[in-house]
Amino acid sequence: MVIKNNFFIDACGRALILRGCNVSGSSKTPVSETCPTPLENPEGVSFAGRPFPLEEAEAHFERLRAFGFTVVRLIITWEAVEHAGPGVYDEAYLAYLRKLLLAAEKYNIAVYMDPHQDVWSRWTGGDGAPAWTLEKLGMDIKKLGAAGAALTEQDCLERGEPFPRMIWPTNYSRYAAATMFTLFFAGAVYAPHCLIDGENAQDYLQERYIAAMRHCRRRLKTCEAVIGWGAMNEPHQGFIGYNDLAGLENYSVALGPMPSPFKAMSAASGHRVEFPVYTTDVFGERIAGGRVYGGASIFKDGFVCPWKREGVWTDESGEPKLLKRDHFALYNNRKAVFTDDFLKPFINKFAARMRESREARENVFIFVEGLPTGAHPSWTKEDAPNVVNAFHWYDGPTLFTKRFRSWVTVDVATRKLIFGKKNVAAHFAACLAESVEWTREHMGGIPCLLGEFGLPFDMNNRKAFRTHDYRLHEQALSMYYDAIDSNLLSATIWNYTPDNGNLHGDGWNGEDLSIFAEGRERGVRGWLRPYPMATAGIPLHIRWDRKRRVFTYRFKADPSIPEPTELFVPALWFGEKPVVAVNEPLAYDYFPENARLFVYNNGFSGEAEVTATG
């Protein structure tokens, strides 16, 4: 597979549209019999067996292939590779991954490796980095919760408090995750005196991260299923770009206790501080109270807050005082732009290092992601080649409220209500089109792949778990896929988690988005649908009419490609054989054993149309 004219191209010269899934949601946590996984024994955990046991691997990949999926975004974490300490790699886990990838190869499943993180690590409310990255800064990982430096499901459980729905993203605004991201991407600029083992924190953290992924790549170098590597899932800017450290910026949703950076810094160093408690609705966020945190420093003896060391704030008089409100606002005497000033150099460095050894394959792709809020880095011919904009998109109102109404949604950018199913559908398509257009104008038109989208299956108070009626879920998913089709996008849905159960969902932070649960598919009529897998020409238009069971595909036929256009036409919709129509002189064959429709150009040049009716 190569990139040509901004399309994925197979060995036959056909343009590919890749469809698949993320595997899996539970891969964010180590193998454990307890959910949530205790935040204990960080060195001794194991991820071997995530996403599923090896003895089950072929059955899962066979199932995914039957779904028409051709690509998997495989979730791994830095912690899974290097949890025991810097430079100590879990070889048993890497051997497990290798065998897993060989099973994927057997079923012609392409894999791109996703070094996943959410809000930095499990100890800061998410997943990704090992505990020792925090400990290297002198943080006592057992004290983060009391200081408001992190909010975890485990802390809530220990306090006997309910874990608020979709609260985990707010950890981006709390001290621990925000500090780690800032140091990782820009420690040399904003914390030049912060050293880890004699190196600047930025150099140390980036080098260990890249070295871990390089080691992983070396162990998997013979796995032909691997088509590429993500640089980092949903990177975040931390404090970078903040104009006023006494306010609240750089957040996607304000919910629960969310401090300003200055309050976060003060509490982390032991001062008792009241955090404002936010509530958010369609009309915006508002402060609905307060909660006091702090009283004991999270830093061990001999360590101090790096921002205090840099003179951003002080407590020499006994009380915290903010000295540099705009410490993170500028870069090279102008407004800092995280995506281009810090994220892009990291991605270029990651790509170069992953490709610099003799065993690195030149055609391996690097999947680029911007911020969770949607900002992307620009890209030019001077930057790393063979890159893909693997942006994410979710129907935010449904994801956060766990309720879906096809006739109304909210434009999260403008806070305006959108009424009418057609208008809602058009809004979904426009959201994706915006990222596609950005890629065309500012990233040289590199290929796009929607790396994540999905739906909470536990919406409406888990009603479908009791009734087994997933029609509303199927309607929502169908609308999402219609938006994807309208933009001719490759896409991997979040997610496929075989160990998903109705009690704990995906096994991480209360999320429940798996299309497979309790041993069976769910919402299948929303996501199992026809699409063009490989086109002998240029894709032009995809439309699936779910109610009428009519699939229409138009493409510009290339007479120089003798191999057929290949379409997935599942029996769920088309039965034993679809009714097919093509324009002359095109011809077709149908293969029911794998639900494939082959359309042959027969030397035709021009716009071709295929319809399949069930």
pLDDT in tens, 540-581: 999 999 999 999 999 999 999 999 999 999 999 999 999 999
Inside any domain, residue 380: yes
* CB within 8 Å of 204: residues ≥ 6 apart: 136, 195, 196, 197
Say if residue 483 is in the same domain as residue 566: no
- The rounded distance, in Å, linking the Cα atoms of 480 and 68 is 17
Contact 452, 21 (CB under 8 A): no
Number of Cβ within a 10 Å radius of residue 219: 17
* Residue where a domain stops, chosen among 499, 528, 557: 528
Whether 285 shows a pLDDT value over 90: the answer reads: no
Inside any domain, residue 231: yes
Inside any domain, residue 245: no
Say if residue 120 is in the same domain as residue 210: yes
- The rounded distance, in Å, linking the Cα atoms of 60 and 62 is 5
Say if residue 457 is in the same domain as residue 352: yes
Say if residue 29 is in the same domain as residue 112: yes
Say if residue 487 is in the same domain as residue 542: no
**What's the whole-number mean pLDDT along residues 489-500?**
97
Strands (E), 264-335: 273-281, 284-293, 313-314, 321-322, 330-331, 334-335
pLDDT at 372: 86
Contact 510, 531 (CB under 8 A): no
Give the dihedral of Cα atoms 122, 123, 129, 134; nearest 10 deg.
Answer: 180
Say if residue 359 is in the same domain as residue 399: yes
Mean pLDDT across the chain: 96
Whether 413 shows a pLDDT value over 90: the answer reads: no
Say if residue 540 is in the same domain as residue 608: yes
Contact 276, 290 (CB under 8 A): yes
Tokens matching residue 453: 């989208």
Nearest to 263 by CA among 291, 288, 285, 235: 291
Listed as own residue / partner, the contacts of 100-106 with beta carbons closer than 8 Å and 24 or more positions apart are 100/54, 100/57, 100/74, 101/74, 101/220, 101/223, 101/225, 101/226, 102/223, 102/225, 103/54, 103/57, 103/58, 103/61, 104/57, 104/61, 104/72, 104/225, 105/223, 105/224, 105/225, 106/58, 106/61
**What's the whole-number mean pLDDT along residues 64-72?**
98
- Span 143-187, pLDDT tens digits: 999 999 999 999 999 999 999 999 999 999 999 999 999 999 999
Label the pairing between strands 226-230 and 110-116.
parallel
Say if residue 349 is in the same domain as residue 491: yes
Tokens matching residue 157: 């459980």
What is the domain-level CATH number for residue 537?
A: 2.60.40.1180
474 labelled catalytic = no
Inside any domain, residue 411: yes
What is the domain-level CATH number for residue 190?
A: 3.20.20.80
pLDDT at 344: 98
Say if residue 125 is in the same domain as residue 227: yes
Nearest to 68 by CA among 500, 487, 534, 509: 534
Vertex 244 angle, CA 243 and 246, to 5°: 160
Task: Say whether 399 sits in a helix, a strand or coil.
Answer: helix
**Among 79, 234, 369, 474, the one annotated catalytic:** 234
- Span 446-486, pLDDT tens digits: 999 999 999 999 999 999 999 999 999 999 999 999 999 99
**What's the whole-number mean pLDDT along residues 311-323?**
97
Vertex 21 angle, CA 235 and 432, to 5°: 60
pLDDT at 358: 57
Contact 447, 8 (CB under 8 A): yes
- The rounded distance, in Å, linking the Cα atoms of 509 and 157 is 12
Say if residue 346 is in the same domain as residue 488: yes
- The rounded distance, in Å, linking the Cα atoms of 144 and 152 is 9
369 labelled catalytic = no
Residue that wins the pLDDT comparison between 276 and 356: 276
Contact 506, 500 (CB under 8 A): yes
* CB within 8 Å of 37: residues ≥ 6 apart: 29, 30, 122, 154, 507
* Residue that is written with structure tokens 């996501």 in the block: 527
- The rounded distance, in Å, linking the Cα atoms of 94 and 225 is 15
Tokens matching residue 548: 């009428």
- Span 423-442, pLDDT tens digits: 999 999 999 999 999 999 99
- The rounded distance, in Å, linking the Cα atoms of 602 and 554 is 16
* Residue that is written with structure tokens 């299956």 in the block: 457
**Among 452, 474, 511, 566, the one annotated catalytic:** 452
- The rounded distance, in Å, linking the Cα atoms of 416 and 367 is 32
- The rounded distance, in Å, linking the Cα atoms of 508 and 150 is 16
- The rounded distance, in Å, linking the Cα atoms of 440 and 17 is 17
Could you give the number of structural domains in the chain?
Answer: 2
Whether 317 shows a pLDDT value over 70: the answer reads: yes
Inside any domain, residue 271: no
Inside any domain, residue 8: no
Inside any domain, residue 218: yes
pLDDT at 281: 78
Beta bridge partners of 229: 113, 366
pLDDT at 296: 97
- The rounded distance, in Å, linking the Cα atoms of 169 and 166 is 7
Tokens matching residue 397: 């109102």
* CB within 8 Å of 133: residues ≥ 6 apart: 120, 121, 180, 205, 208
Inside any domain, residue 480: yes
Say if residue 498 is in the same domain as residue 544: no
Whether 97 shows a pLDDT value over 90: the answer reads: yes
Give the whole-number percent of the chain exceeding pLDDT 90.
95
Tokens matching residue 570: 């599942």
Whether 357 shows a pLDDT value over 90: the answer reads: no
Q: Is the pTM of this model over 0.85?
A: yes
Say if residue 130 is in the same domain as residue 226: yes
Contact 396, 455 (CB under 8 A): no
* Residue where a domain stops, chosen among 528, 550, 571: 528
Using only the alpha carbons of the chain, give its radius of gyration: 24
pLDDT at 5: 84
- Span 255-276, pLDDT tens digits: 999 999 999 999 999 999 999 9
Whether 362 shows a pLDDT value over 70: the answer reads: no
* Residue where a domain stops, chosen among 506, 528, 550: 528
* Residue that is written with structure tokens 């800017």 in the block: 237
Task: Say whether 173 sits in a helix, a strand or coil.
Answer: helix
Vertex 440 angle, CA 435 and 445, to 5°: 115
Tokens matching residue 360: 């690195």
Contact 477, 529 (CB under 8 A): no
Question: What is the residue range of 539's domain?
Answer: 532-613
